[in-house]
Amino acid sequence: MHQSPSRRRFVQATAAVATARFPILGANERVQIGIVGLGGRGANHVDYYAELDPMARITALCDVNQAARERATAQVRKLKGYAPKEYSDMRAMYESKEVDAVSIATPNHWHTLAAIWACQAGKDVYVEKPASHNIFESHKLVEAARKYKRMVQVGSQSRSIAHKVRAIQLLNEGVIGQIYHARALCFRRRFSIGHTPEEPVPPGLDWSAFLGPAQMRPYSKNRFAYNWHWFWDTGNGDIGNQGVHEMDIALWGLGRGGWPLTVQSTGGKFIWQDDQETPNTQQALFNFGDCQITFEVRNLPTPPEGLAPLRGPNYVGNIFFGHAGYMVLDQAGFAVYKSSAPNLSGEAARGAGAGRAERYEKAMEEKADGAPTVPHMRNFLDAVRSRDHTKLTAESEIGARAASFCHLANIAYRVGRTLRVDQSSGRFLGDSEANSLLTRDYRAPYIVPAQV
């Protein structure tokens, strides 16, 4: 296949990376940041890194959409008084010696490939959640981070939020006893996206580059901007959008490694008649044998769950159940409720009437304090300078695992049956259709390689 001069230079540069030694930044040196993907979340990245100056300086901006690049440049100029260099191709930006690390806020289907290319070019990576678009990509992201000794932080900022760290510590210490159930809730009120026709690509937008690893499709407004979340080619539905945060917390609090024995998922797209492919209502169950995770997504009107407070149309959070009580954990804080019943079971409990006498009383509570994302990015910048990936609070392996569990749920939903998971490989036992969804049919040259 013919390669452009830019692509040839990038391939030559990445080929040399395996044997190159990259300079280590001093403790007080400013990290030069290039931001890839300048839509809504990318604009947030500009704000956050501007706030983190002098730890970081935004030196480069990249997007396939000229209008997005111009908006971001104006944003940096307003905040910091200078204009970073603009790029339409991330590979060209990765070649720059004026970029030490990249911050990726593209659509989901670009996260892993953009991160792998950055690792190969010797750049450290902050990549938004979910870490991957499919389970194959989860494996490749971790492999690339390890092979090229890069700092790769996934945007699972709960791992850097003080009250959530404290809550998980308490769970690990047995505050509610042995945990048998982690329940994740993603109730985000959304509305129908309607239908949008195929139309010419807007001036200044490289539509082929936007689709990247996905197969070529005609442009329509619903497949662009935010609504790409609701198409399987580019997004992962709300379980992989907002829900991956709660999935990560469920796995974190449950404290279990490895794969579930089985996974099942049901739901559908109810009420709405529109272009969206992903469900607006979804339930998933991950069975580990002696404990479980359940996950519920709902984009339609929803009441509060258990002791989770009603704060409006949206509620996202987690409830952990143990033999001695339960914990409610969300963005506002956490509360622990302890059982007043004696620690009895079986005949002893029935004889004592434990169930009739049992009460649940609030044992402790902690409110949230501080912004969620800036500390997470500060942790990334600290790791870039220290060269110690174990200091990252949401290192690639953590983010990849949370994303993979969202993908497990979506695969079970799409095939419509309970799936048994091989504990050594993570593949599905006796189900070729489900296994085919572990990866995707990549479009050249945007291919996540088997050998990173």
* 88 and 183 housed in the same domain: no
Q: What is the pTM of this model?
A: 0.92
**pLDDT for res 108:** 98
* 29 part of a folded domain: yes
Tokens of 436: 């085919």
Of 367, 369, 391, nearest in space to 380 by CA: 391
CATH number, position 13: 3.40.50.720
**pLDDT for res 40:** 95
**pLDDT for res 309:** 61
* 194 and 94 housed in the same domain: no
* 131 and 202 housed in the same domain: no
The DSSP output letter for 449 is -
Cβ(156)–Cβ(244) below 8 Å: yes
CA distance 394 to 168: 14
* 195 part of a folded domain: yes
* 452 part of a folded domain: no
- Could you tell me the residue range of the domain that residue 78 belongs to? 5-159+374-395
**pLDDT for res 21:** 42
* 123 and 268 housed in the same domain: no
Of 206, 205, 200, nearest in space to 218 by CA: 200
* 299 and 334 housed in the same domain: yes
* 444 part of a folded domain: no
* 293 part of a folded domain: yes
Of 62, 1, 11, nearest in space to 37 by CA: 62
Cβ(224)–Cβ(217) below 8 Å: no
**Does the bond joining 54 to the residue before it have cis omega, within 30 degrees of 0?**
yes
* 446 part of a folded domain: no
* 28 and 120 housed in the same domain: yes
* 98 and 20 housed in the same domain: yes
Tokens of 23: 């300079």
**pLDDT for res 121:** 98
* 165 and 136 housed in the same domain: no
**pLDDT for res 312:** 72
Domain count, the chain: 2
* 127 part of a folded domain: yes
* 94 part of a folded domain: yes
* 33 and 125 housed in the same domain: yes
**pLDDT for res 304:** 72
**pLDDT for res 340:** 81
CB contact burial 2-36 (16+ within 10 A = b; e otherwise): eeeeeeeebeebbeebeeeeeeebeeeebbbbbbb
**pLDDT for res 143:** 98
CA distance 389 to 299: 36
CATH number, position 221: 3.30.360.10
Give how far the C-alpha of residue 247 lies from the chain's centroid of Cα atoms, to the nearest Å.
Answer: 9
Residues of the chain short of pLDDT 70, as ranges, are: 1-28, 306-311, 342-357
Of 272, 278, 312, nearest in space to 188 by CA: 312
* 382 and 364 housed in the same domain: no
* 183 and 330 housed in the same domain: yes
String of DSSP letters for 365-399:
EEE--S-SHHHHHHHHHHHHHHT-GGG-TTBHHHH
**pLDDT for res 33:** 98
* 223 and 293 housed in the same domain: yes
